Amino acid sequence: MKASAFVYPWDVNGDPAAGKFIAGLGVQQVTLASAYHSTRALTPRHPRHRIVTAEHAAVLYPPVKARWSGRRLRPYPAGDWAPGDAFGMAAAVLANAGLEVHTWVVLAHSSRLGAEHPETSVVNAYGDRYPWAPCVAQPETRRYLVDLAVEAAVRPGASGTELESLGWYGLAHLHAHDKTGGVGLGEAGQYLMSLCFCGTCRDGYAGAGLDPDGLAAAVREALEPLWRGEVSDGGWPLVGKLLGTERAAGTRAWRDERARTLQEETVTAVRAAAPEGFQVLLHADPVPYHCGANAGVDAGHILGVADGVVVPCTGGPGLLAPFAEQGREGAVLAANFTVVSGMGGSPGTLAADAARAAELGATELRLYHAGLASDGDLAAVREALAGLG
């Protein structure tokens, strides 16, 4: 089973041993970040640094001036954490080590975009903005995301791409000094708190036959029992119970269409710009109303759009099943496992986890993350991959 490890350019650049070390894990591919959100990352083996602070969402290569000239929304170049063509330098090193390189592109997730252009952000039913979450219904934001995907995905030396957060982002977000876990909202509360009420979305709800003001009031009322801790999670049925089935369906009609058409447009644009045979995968969750890095999708639809999906499997490979059930010949179903023990991963059980994923239809593995994991974690990965043949 083909395996790919996620890597940042700063894991590779400046470390003469990085290419050989990563290839020695037994992976055939690397998924190398070319556009990424802000982060603070450990680099436990790098000879020059141990902590890298990426201060804002950025492209990790020089953006094409002609593409973005005169545009209000444009990608931000990286600072000293990934200067110049950091992606290109790392890609060359990894390719020289015998590894196939695919781009890793984070799209609808940028706190700097939200800070500098607050009108682009998701706005909840209380009027609170989520600066990390661009509203994917807004026309200008959609154009920006499509063009960013094309530029960041189709980099010299890349054989394919993995598009992350190509859909709705919502309340859930890893944030510095986060204090949002005091109330267990569950899936229903997360959905209700992720509904957007920017001007574009209010118009969209109206087009779906809903009164935007009445809907916002209904969302706030529906959340009250969750704030009081009186309702346990019940997923989508609970959304319908709390919000009303007609209102719930109306929100889905608008949001699902906006995410679906953005995914279609983006994949089409990337393929048009890419060489023949360029692989396009989405980080995806088969529950369409889910938000976040793994965009909620309709499994049957998305496998007719992209070449396949990367599916979160650290908590178990169950999310693979809806994709496998489509019986789409040739589709890539990549099971994504965290292999960093300190981040909840279990590299020691990777062989068993991979075998279980294969039983459920996985065709490939993704390993998060070669740059963040300890030597001990990666020794376990090396052993597991050797055993898989």
287-324 pLDDT, tens digit each: 999 999 999 999 999 999 999 999 999 999 999 999 99
Note the pLDDT of residue 158: 98
Classify residue 332 as exposed, middle or buried by CB count within 10 Å of its CB (0-12, 13-18, 19+): buried
Does residue 184 register a pLDDT over 80?
no
Angle separating helix axes 199-207 and 245-273, nearest 10 degrees = 120
Does residue 9 register a pLDDT over 60?
yes
Mean pLDDT on 19-47:
97
pLDDT in tens, 353-382: 999 999 999 999 999 999 999 999 999 999
Mean pLDDT on 9-26:
98
Does residue 285 register a pLDDT over 90?
yes
Tell me the pLDDT band of 181, cut-offs 50, 70 and 90.
low
298 near 288, Cβ under 8 Å?
A: yes
Task: Show the domains of the chain with their CATH numbers.
Answer: 2-123+130-178+258-388 (3.20.20.80)
81 near 55, Cβ under 8 Å?
A: yes
Mean pLDDT computed over every residue of the chain: 95
Residue 280 φ/ψ, nearest 5 degrees: -120, 115
Share of the chain above pLDDT 90, in %: 92
Note the pLDDT of residue 178: 58
Instruction: Report how far residue 220's alpha carbon sits from residue 243's, in angstroms, rounded to the nearest whole number.
Output: 9
Tell me the pLDDT band of 182, cut-offs 50, 70 and 90.
low
Note the pLDDT of residue 185: 78
3-state class (DSSP) for residue 123: strand
pLDDT in tens, 124-165: 999 999 999 999 999 999 999 999 999 999 999 999 999 999
